């Protein structure tokens, strides 16, 4: 049984308390690099700083093709490997990310702020949605293969602070199935 992981809040990482390290970009993981950038700005910028923290951004223009990869694997009966099918994630659509940034431009929020659609989906639930939309079953593989959302445990974030400032987020399940339908036609 997986331990329940609470959503990440803005307070879970304080850029003002982060020790800055001067090193090349290859010295840091993606997450550490983002944290170092936040710390540098919050600690040394001569202007107010807002750090927007997005989860994975989904949309038809996603150059990474991560969601499309899962759709293709299911549509064409290719095996999908997951360490933990019950792990949950949340996302934001590319449109909502843009709307959020436009909204934020008119606000005076000088602190980190999370932005994600309301709701979560388990990896298994996401694959089942894709299977239902494509009319194909999920073929699970027991050997590791390309699986960009393969996370060992739940990875979600809270959007309560942004909502408290007045931004109304969409519900993930209001747009995710429609996006899967559009992408399924393209793969």
Domains in the chain, ordered, with CATH?
Answer: 8-47 (no CATH), 50-186 (3.40.50.720)
Instruction: State the Cα–Cα distance between residues 81 and 59, nearest whole angstrom.
Output: 23
Over the stretch 93-116, which tens digit does the pLDDT of each residue have?
999 999 999 999 999 999 999 999
Residues in the chain: 187
What is the value of pTM for the model shown? 0.91
pLDDT at 3: 60
Burial 58-78 (b: 16+ CB within 10 A, else e): bbeebeeeebbbbbbbbbeee
| % of the chain surpassing 70 pLDDT | 98
Over the stretch 32-89, which tens digit does the pLDDT of each residue have?
999 999 999 999 999 999 999 999 999 999 999 999 999 999 999 999 999 999 999 9
| Nearest by Cα to 138 from 147, 151, 129, 146 | 129
Burial 133-142 (b: 16+ CB within 10 A, else e): bbebebeeee
Handedness of CA 143, 89, 112, 174 (dihedral sign): positive
Q: State how far the alpha carbon of 59 is from the alpha carbons of 5, 49, 154, 182, in Å.
A: 26, 27, 22, 10
Q: Across residues 173-186, what is the average pLDDT?
A: 97
């Amino acid at each position: 049984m997986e331990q329940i992981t609470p959503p990440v809040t803005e307070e879970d990482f304080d850029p003002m308390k982060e020790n800055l390290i001067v090193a090349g970009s290859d010295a840091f993981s993606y997450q550490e690099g983002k944290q170092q950038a936040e710390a540098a700005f919050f600690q040394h910028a001569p202007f107010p700083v807002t750090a927007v923290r997005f989860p994975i951004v989904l949309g038809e223009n996603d150059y990474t093709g991560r969601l499309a990869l899962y759709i293709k694997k299911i549509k064409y009966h290719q095996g999908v490997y997951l360490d933990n099918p019950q792990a949950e994630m949340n996302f934001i659509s590319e449109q909502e990310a843009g709307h959020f940034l436009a909204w934020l431009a008119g606000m005076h929020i000088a602190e980190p702020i999370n932005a994600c659609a309301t709701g979560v989906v388990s990896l298994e639930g996401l694959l089942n949605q894709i299977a239902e939309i494509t009319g194909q079953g999920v073929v699970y593989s027991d050997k590791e293969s390309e699986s960009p959302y393969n996370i060992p445990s739940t990875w979600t974030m809270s959007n309560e602070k942004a909502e408290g400032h007045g931004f109304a987020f969409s519900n993930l399940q209001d747009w995710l199935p429609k996006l899967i339908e559009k992408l399924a036609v393209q793969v």
